[in-house]
Amino acid sequence: LGIPALRDRGTPQAGPPGGVDPSPEADRSSGIGGELPGFGGEALPCHGAHQAGVTTTPPAAHARYVSYRLRPETDRDGIRRMLRILTGDVEGLASGTGPLADPEPELAARPARLTVTVGVGPGLVDRVDPLKRPEWLAPLPPFSRDRLSGQHDGGDLLVLLQADDPLPIAHAARMLARDLASFAEPLWTQQGFRQARGAEAGGTTMRNLMGQVDGTVNPSPADEDFDGLVWIGGAPEDASRDGRGGAGAWLEGGTALVLRRIRMELDTWDQVDRPGREQTIGRRLDTGAPLTGGDEHTPVDYEARNALGLTVIPSFAHVRRAHSEDPDERIFRRAVNYDDGAESGLLFACYQRNPLRQFVPIQRRLDELDLLNEWVTHTGSAVFAILPGFEPGETLGAALLE
């Protein structure tokens, strides 16, 4: 009575059971007596060398970060079982078949490009083997302007859910919370968004809630040096890079996530005139082009001077302070906006091999001088090791437990 039937996840779907069919025909059909229209039926593969959801293009419209704290009794064996269950859940949710014993499989059936990305925090790795924790997998060093509230910091396990529709995200979050409950308890949740799918032409850089085009100068997965900046490799230099003689070998194919919750003071920002707002960043508000001219993707001319002999991009401008001359000191940014009615801002996420060599020096410069600081405050901070990708039959994070 009332016991949900276990669903067979291994069976390939003959057709969309309410619709996992990414074909354009499915999008064009009428939906009356035929295939369901819309993009909800699109499913992304969750297998591969890297987990889905880090470089997924275009980035999904909705994101939810859920951080968990391990229960005191969850030992190494418990972590192993937890990761096995999580792996099955990721496969079921991403494909649209739903996790085992899903009481509402209809809510899983239209994943809208759902990705579930799993990361581990310092506490989890320490419980497995403290010698396996890379130096960077720790709370970030403090910055003078940080005002961390304690509400959105750290955690032992991170699940990042992203999709073009908030419904499959809500469902996935509930199913994961159910399956993780005996191993871990929720610590915090943060939700963010970009423009809805279809609101802008494909490839348009997102806008943040200050109105700026945000994400222009960013390494692209198509760049030759992207892998070296973002994915943790097995090469000896990674072992020395992490400073612990290979403590990160189990992370080959993974990456390091830094997540900062950054509140925006939009009321006072709105009082600044347009030139003032543009000088704060060093770029135009309408097109995102540098103040030194061109279009959005024209390189910034940091040397250009105006009639008064002053640099066109002011010394305090955000892009001047954030820009790195060192090509190894770059990060892959994937921010989303947040707005819960009472507060709004940016969930600033970035991926890299080693936050101590990439995020930290950039943030040190911004902390020291950046006019943007007048209107933004960092109130949450977390670092997670995003686990390497996995293939069918493999378990997420298996190398950590070897």
Q: Contact positions toward ligand HEM, by CB under 6 A?
A: 208, 210, 212-217, 260, 262, 264, 281, 283, 300, 318-319, 322-323, 346, 348, 359, 362-363, 366, 376
Q: Which is nearer to ligand HEM, 180 or 322 (CB)?
A: 322
Q: Which is nearer to ligand HEM, 189 or 373 (CB)?
A: 373
Shortest Å distance, C-beta 3 to ligand HEM: 48
Shortest Å distance, C-beta 198 to ligand HEM: 23
Distance linking the first and last C-alpha atoms of the chain? 41
Active-site pick, 153, 156, 214, 238: 214
Shortest Å distance, C-beta 58 to ligand HEM: 16
- Report d(CA 101, CA 175) in Å as an integer: 9
CB 117 within 8 A of CB 53: yes
- Report d(CA 110, CA 194) in Å as an integer: 20
Distances 52 to 56, 122, 152, 245, 387 between C-alpha atoms, Å: 6, 22, 24, 28, 11
Q: Which is nearer to ligand HEM, 115 or 216 (CB)?
A: 216
What is the per-residue DSSP string for 276-315?
A: HHHHHHTB-TTT--BTTSS-TTSPP-SS-B-TTS-BSS-T
Q: Which is nearer to ligand HEM, 190 or 363 (CB)?
A: 363
Shortest Å distance, C-beta 80 to ligand HEM: 35
Cα Rg, the chain, nearest whole Å: 22
Q: Residue 51: CB partners within 8 Å, gap ≥ 6?
A: 115, 117, 118, 254, 386, 387, 388, 389, 390, 396
- Report d(CA 217, CA 215) in Å as an integer: 6
Shortest Å distance, C-beta 294 to ligand HEM: 13
Catalytic site includes residue 126: no
Q: Which is nearer to ligand HEM, 152 or 318 (CB)?
A: 318
Tokens encoding 20: 């996992």
Q: Which residues are catalytic?
A: 214
